Structure 1
Amino acid sequence: MPQVLQEEIDERSREIHTDRYSMSINEVVAMYQDGDLEVHPEFQRIFRWTIEQQSRLVESVFLGIPIPPIFVAQRSDGVWDVVDGVQRLSTLFRFMGALRDDKSEKDLPYPLAQGEYLKALYGVVWEEGIQAPDTELDPSLISPLEEAQRRVFKRARLDFQIVQKESDDQAKYDLFQRLNSGTRLSEQEARNCLAVMLDPTFSRWLEHLASREYYTNVVDITERKEQESYGTEAVLRYLACARASMRELQDMGDFGEFLTDQMRSFMADPTFVREKELERFEFVFTSLRDALAEKSFRRYYSDGDRFTGAFSVSAYEAVTSGIARNYEFWRSVEGPERSEMIRQRVKAVWQDSVFDTRSGGGKRANRRIPYMVEVGERIFRG
């Protein structure tokens, strides 16, 4: 076993090439402004720190308290892609008035809160005029740093751990997941970050689908779940159930890993045409909106012929994949007739014996989803 372990160590270590580098905050800001350092503004709403957390970081810089190294991956174009440390860098750039949001507009800071050791940080800004306009702090309590203090801050050094471009392509994403495993991210928030690093256009495409009114009209997502990117996850869940083969579904193993693998395959697969998938997505969810609207994924009770209760993920998987996997048939059915037929098929899903046995709480996703897709494909077949 020790020999096998050493062989694995030797093999994996060859796949990841790293280097260390130290530079001043001023040099890092220059790299960011020149486009040589990518901090992914799309991450801001996921990782955003409170002003107290931001103030503690600034305090650490002034006091010379060591800051954990920033992990970056060097891309083939030479740009450093931040893998871990987005919020630390964003905080420093924001405090100095250099940070820009995902619309390329200045992300202005609020005056600092008092530090644990430096109480006088309260109300401090980098310099006059660099602050968010909607601050509620009394203007008389806001004070800019002195020139000498700004110089000291800019000269403070940050350590970088660089994953070089020669590393295995998977290394950057594995590293992100490992470094952020203790961060309070939902699985989909972490998946969104990976999507941004792998292909920002795909990430924005997913968000575009999740924001469509016809989709939000039928998918009941609470505010808390929306904050955890559940709407985006549900889009990805739909795509996986609509496109994966039954063999892939039956062999999925951990569902989170399966969903991540499916997302990556969508980005790399030349047969995954976003325009066509958007067209099918729009058809599925507008058809459901017209047929049942917000009742589309609620439990059906034949006693009283009514849909009621909370959103059912099992019904979502069965119904959406059923229509999508029989897309050509449903496209051939006229609007009013289609709506009535969909209502009847959704009722049939809830009355199906396999669905009844395999759906519901407590069922692991990898033991439930293959059956939900089979039920949907069978019941919505033309």
Structure 2
Amino acid sequence: MEYIKDISKEIDKIGFEAYSKIIEIVFVGGVVHKYENVPKDIFYDFKSTGSKEDYYVEKLQNSDLDYEIIEEGIEIDIKKSLKDQQRNLITQFVDYNLKTLSELLEEDTINLHPEYQRRYRWNDERQSKLIESFIMNVPVPPIFLNEDDFGKYSVIDGKQRLNNIKRFFTDELELVGLKVFQNLNGKIFSNLPLPYQNYLKTRAVLRAIIILNESDEDIKYKVFQRLNTGGVKLNDQEIRNSAYPGDLNDLTLRLSENPTFHKLLGVDDKNESKIYQEMKDVEYVLRFFTFFENPDYFSGDISWKMSDFVRKNQRMEETKIKEYEKQFLNTINFINRLFGEFAFKRWLENKGYWKKKMTTPLFDAVIFACIDRDVKVSIPNDFNKEDFISEYKKLFSDKDFDFFISFHTSTSSAFITRKAKVYNLIKDTLDR
């Protein structure tokens, strides 16, 4: 049939290049290894009777197979963990046809929204090209699932691919931008020619590596932290979500969705906002919690300090969670009444308008100035926001303020200076 001929031609063109896109993750001698550019004749056959570890140990000894150790020098001593702490990693491999996967997703047997997953990013063209890859039988990297309960799974790695498959089989995705099967552009699944429908339902498969329920939680998240198999590298906040799940992480995720907070950050459309898509809103909540009790701690490697803070506070007492939530909500509501949408934006005096995007140094200056009890008093009934914003604009003509929101922004002196100037502005206004 014609579509089969098309597929064969394209596979011939691709040859072994497809296998260069495969990334293999395997434990060898207790160390996490990542194998790239795996040729077809070497790639592990899951039908093999031998273990994956033994297979690659033999290949490493008898071939020039390239590999790299993820985070060199960091070992997961599985044998020691099993003996001393009964830690283990138990996996199962399943090849799902796409139709079965879509049904499992529709039934929520596979949960697409675990809290540690990145927010959705792929556009329709990229999703369409994944479907085209399945039609061409191009190898697609496996997904990683966690068994939450018997017969219930959540996605550790592969949310984009699964969301893509679900949208396609429920006719939410219209194929666009296809280069090989251009005749399919503009079609949804239900109006594809029947041979294509049948092929995608029954012949196209995606391998799932399932981390079973018996596996240790810490090892599961360490594996996720090292995967990074997708085309979009995880950023610092996405890594924190995966590596340090717990009460504090849940709180930051929940508060990041606050409508007032999104207004202050300039998040109007979640689908278009980089702040939302890249979880910067979550990171800003964590930034607040990291430094609001100890602002003197602010200097140096801020990202590391935030990671260290969430690691140390994964488990948090309910009373402290409520205290943190109250402090955060009171602060952003106070800021919103004073500054509104201009809180974290820079005034460009020479151009006569506000920068569209918020800036982190201004976030620090405003939010930490407003934490102080001397400032956070009742806003008088005769408060004039327009007059206050006019005074705020004048701050950007202050050379010291301008310098410390532009240069050396993570130094202690810069933080103290810009925070003090915002603090004085607010206090002078409210004390009149």
User: Fold-level match, TM-score > 0.5?
Assistant: yes
Deviation at 1:91, TM superposition (A): 1.6
Q: Which amino acid aligns with 1:54?
A: Q
TM-score by length of 1: 0.64
1:9 aligns with 2:57: no
Deviation at 1:21, TM superposition (A): 0.7
Structure-1 residue corresponding to 2:122:
48
Deviation at 1:87, TM superposition (A): 1.4
Q: 2:256 aligns with which of 193, 207, 213?
A: 207
Q: How does 1:231-310 map to 2 (within 5 A)?
A: 231-244=281-294, 246=296, 249=298, 254-263=301-310, 268-271=315-318, 273-294=320-341, 296-297=343-344
Q: Distance in 2 between matches of 1:203 and 1:351?
A: 34
TM-score by length of 2: 0.58
Answer 1 or 2: which has greater helix percent.
1
Q: Distance in 1 between matches of 2:257 and 2:216?
A: 31
Residue 168 to residue 119, structure 1, CA distance change in 2 (3 Å): same
Deviation at 1:68, TM superposition (A): 1.0
Structure-2 residue corresponding to 1:150:
198
Unaligned runs of 5+ in 2: 1-28, 32-71, 82-86
**Partner-residue secondary structure (3-state), 1:75:** strand
Q: Distance in 2 between matches of 1:7 and 1:225?
A: 34
Deviation at 1:70, TM superposition (A): 0.8
- Give the conservation status (yes or no) of the 8 Å contact 2:96–2:206: yes
**CA shift digits 1:352-376 (9 cap, x unpaired):** 99x8699333426376787579859
Q: Distance in 2 between matches of 1:225 and 1:68?
A: 26
Q: Which amino acid aligns with 1:259?
A: M
Q: Distance in 2 between matches of 1:366 and 1:77?
A: 50
Unaligned runs of 5+ in 1: 98-107, 128-142, 302-306
Structure-1 residue corresponding to 2:408:
363
Deviation at 1:243, TM superposition (A): 3.5
Q: Distance in 1 between matches of 2:224 and 2:174?
A: 31
Structure-2 residue corresponding to 1:125:
188
1:87 aligns with 2:160: yes
Q: Distance in 2 between matches of 1:218 and 1:33?
A: 35
Q: Could you say what the CA RMSD is over the residues aligned between the two structures, in angstroms?
A: 5.0
Identity between Structure 1 and Structure 2 (%): 20
**Partner-residue secondary structure (3-state), 2:120:** helix
Residue 244 to residue 84, structure 1, CA distance change in 2 (3 Å): farther
- Give the conservation status (yes or no) of the 8 Å contact 1:96–1:126: yes
Residue 124 to residue 77, structure 1, CA distance change in 2 (3 Å): same
Q: 2:137 aligns with which of 64, 78, 82?
A: 64
Deviation at 1:23, TM superposition (A): 2.5
Q: Distance in 1 between matches of 2:92 and 2:207?
A: 7
Q: Which amino acid aligns with 1:360?
A: I
Q: 1:187 aligns with which of 235, 240, 251?
A: 235
Q: Which moved more, 1:280-289 or 1:78-87?
A: 280-289
Q: Distance in 2 between matches of 1:69 and 1:360?
A: 44
Equivalent residue pairs, number? 338
Asked which structure has the greater RCO (Cα within 8 Å, sep 6+), the reply is 1
Q: Distance in 2 between matches of 1:297 and 1:16?
A: 46
Deviation at 1:69, TM superposition (A): 1.0
**CA shift digits 1:185-244 (9 cap, x unpaired):** 6737626864997679546522332x21xx456556797654544444333322322145
**CA shift digits 1:30-83 (9 cap, x unpaired):** 443443322228868632232x33233223323332221112233366632212
- Give the conservation status (yes or no) of the 8 Å contact 2:175–2:187: yes
**Partner-residue secondary structure (3-state), 2:123:** coil
Q: Which amino acid aligns with 1:205?
A: R
Deviation at 1:85, TM superposition (A): 1.1
Q: How does 1:312-351 map to 2 (within 5 A)?
A: 313-324=360-371, 326-327=372-373, 329-330=374-375, 333=378, 335=380
**CA shift digits 1:293-352 (9 cap, x unpaired):** 455456799xxxxx986555334323322332x34x555556359999x99x989x9999
**Partner-residue secondary structure (3-state), 1:35:** coil
